[in-house]
Amino acid sequence: MLNQITTNPVLDQLPKHLLQFVMPQVYENYSPIDQAVWRYVMQKNIQILPHLAHPSYLRGLEQTGISIDQIPDMYGMNRILKDIGWAAVAVDGFIPPQAFMAFQAYNVLVIASDIRQLNHIEYTPAPDIIHEAAGHAPIIANPDYAEYLRRFGEIGSKAISSSLDFDMYEAARKLSILKEARFQDKQAILAVEQDIEKIQSSSEPPSEMAQIRNLHWWTVEYGLIGTLDDPKIYGAGLLSSIGESQACMNQKVKKLPYTIDAAQQAFDITKEQPQLFVTPNFAHLSEVLEEFANTMALRKGGLSGVQKAIASKQLATVELSTGLQISGVFTNVLSDDGKPIYIQTKGKTALANKNKTLIGHETEQHADGFGSPIGKLKGINLAIEDMSPRDLKHYNIYENERISLEFEGGIKVTGDIVTGTRNLKGKILIIKFKNCLVTYGDQILFKPGWGIYDMAVGKSVRSVYSGPADYNSFDLNQMVSKTKTIHQDKTPELKKLENLYDAVHQLRSSWNSTIAEDAFKTVKSEYPEDWLLSFNLLATSKHYNQNKLEESLTTHLNDLAKRKPELAHLFKE
């Protein structure tokens, strides 16, 4: 198996800011216990999911190269996924929602390469390779669903977040890591759970990102498809949970028609879901997604969009009617009659057109922020962006002229025009001034002594979205969480148990009575509550007609079921 990052043509298209999340899949780190957990879950899935899952799932297992017998490696998956236009990368647990969805927009499936522990075999709050590879990958072989997933990523990555969203992401990531750690710190877990409760109790309205994450949860993770009376599973969270995949069909779990209302339904990743949403078909998912997208600043723009960007306190882009894209951290907006008339950023800002930074308008040129009026000139029906060269000359808007421009909202720009920047179609995007004074009543927005003033041209804000227009313009390394997955040293007892698992697995291909009996004795005396090893040994002894050992193992598991009734359903046939 390979330890390096493997690629395919899809991965080669990823922007560099996403590559910081990609890590090698160190296959040798998977222990014999990990492999046994994988086999158990996949075998159970094959038994129960044909009756519960959408038909695309089982077909997808073959198409995406997911093996029942061993944890998949990225090389094998990428070699096969490229045939359906997708790729897979390994990551360290939860990654920021924007980054997660951006990967989807590029047809890349992110896979948390760690695997759940045996005591979380039915469900883990942490993303793991069972959830990602066995849950997500097979269903994307369905073209309709794959396009929904890609489109969701494309729209979702533009959703504007709040500071609460970032706090929730960090808390959820930390909680999942702590709960999946081999030696749990219960006090630390309790502290993070209290942090999450505090965040959830906030009266702040849910952001676009919070709402679209809800839609993602109730479809991609926990979605049902079909009718309310006879739904099938397509959500990866259910497909990868051998416990909840069956429990979700219980009448106690309310089934609701999937509509845009699901965007307001929050969820708890640590508990089974009390209700699920059912879509009649995959096409309906895209309809709801587009309906939600129509409510986003991405499509509505305007004053409310700029206000969302300001409230987020994060890097965002305001796109004007000319196509000029202003990317930075927005701090202020002046408005008049419900329309933005002046926008302001602080710190590094870049100006772009068609997602490519304009030469001379990189973050170095606008390191201290950027501000500009928006709207039409007062008393002139024709907006600057709609003026022909003759119109511009008529209103003295051309090089080497000193001019005073007064906008309808009351912003006044006075200075010497140096030059203008146009797009390929000749539409003017920026007017550069020297000796410039920008005012709003008695308020000074820009002074002549501050240097060159670049005024954006645009009569309206047509779009506002999260992140920069050109990812190459900003250093986005700050997106990576400082909370890392806990990899604790193995105890001698654990190493010995892993060797036992390996020995029992080898018996499948070559039976040895002495090894089998010694393994059983060791399990009974040193690991009496490890049910999976005994369960696997029982299956192998049945295959080789080892009746005496089979009887002893059955008795041992029956005794364990009496001592640990909460585990009995896992190994009772």
Instruction: Return all residues near 509 (Cβ < 8 A) that are at least 6 apart.
Output: none
Give the pLDDT score at 2.
Answer: 41
Strands in 354-474 per DSSP E: 356-357, 371-373, 402-406, 411-422, 428-440, 443-446, 453-456, 461-466
125-139, 331-345, 552-566: which has the minimum mean pLDDT? 125-139
pLDDT band at 348 (very low <50, low <70, confident <90, very high): very high
74-83, 166-175, 359-368, 497-506: which has the minimum mean pLDDT? 74-83
Q: Is the pLDDT of residue 1 over 80?
A: no
User: Which residue would you say has higher pLDDT here, 9 or 265?
Assistant: 265
Q: Is the pLDDT of residue 48 over 70?
A: yes
Total-model pTM: 0.90
State the virtual CA torsion across 211, 309, 376, 299 in degrees, nearest 10.
-20
Distance from the first to the final alpha carbon of the chain: 34
Q: Is the pLDDT of residue 381 over 80?
A: yes
Give the pLDDT score at 436.
Answer: 98
Region(s) of the chain under CATH 1.10.800.10: 11-289
> pLDDT for 394-437, tens place per residue?
999 989 999 999 999 999 999 999 999 998 888 899 999 999 99
pLDDT band at 242 (very low <50, low <70, confident <90, very high): confident
pLDDT band at 6 (very low <50, low <70, confident <90, very high): low
Give the pLDDT score at 336.
Answer: 96
Give the pLDDT score at 7.
Answer: 65
How far apart are alpha carbons 243 and 569 in whole angstroms? 10
Q: Is the pLDDT of residue 3 over 70?
A: no
14-18, 125-129, 495-499: which has the minimum mean pLDDT? 125-129
Could you give phi then psi for residue 29, rounded to 5 degrees?
-75, -15
Could you give phi then psi for residue 48, rounded to 5 degrees?
-100, -30
Q: Is the pLDDT of residue 528 over 80?
A: yes
How far apart are alpha carbons 288 and 279 in whole angstroms? 10
Mean pLDDT (the chain) is: 92
Segment 84-98 shows an average pLDDT of 89
**Angle at the Cα of 510 from the Cα atoms of 508 and 514, rounded to 5 degrees:** 100
pLDDT band at 211 (very low <50, low <70, confident <90, very high): very high
> pLDDT for 124-152, tens place per residue?
878 889 988 888 888 998 999 999 999 99
DSSP 489: P
Give the pLDDT score at 573.
Answer: 63
User: Which residue would you say has higher pLDDT here, 74 or 330?
Assistant: 330
Class of domain 11-289 (CATH, top level): mainly alpha
- Pairing between β-strand 356-357 and β-strand 339-353 as defined by DSSP bridges: antiparallel
pLDDT band at 5 (very low <50, low <70, confident <90, very high): low
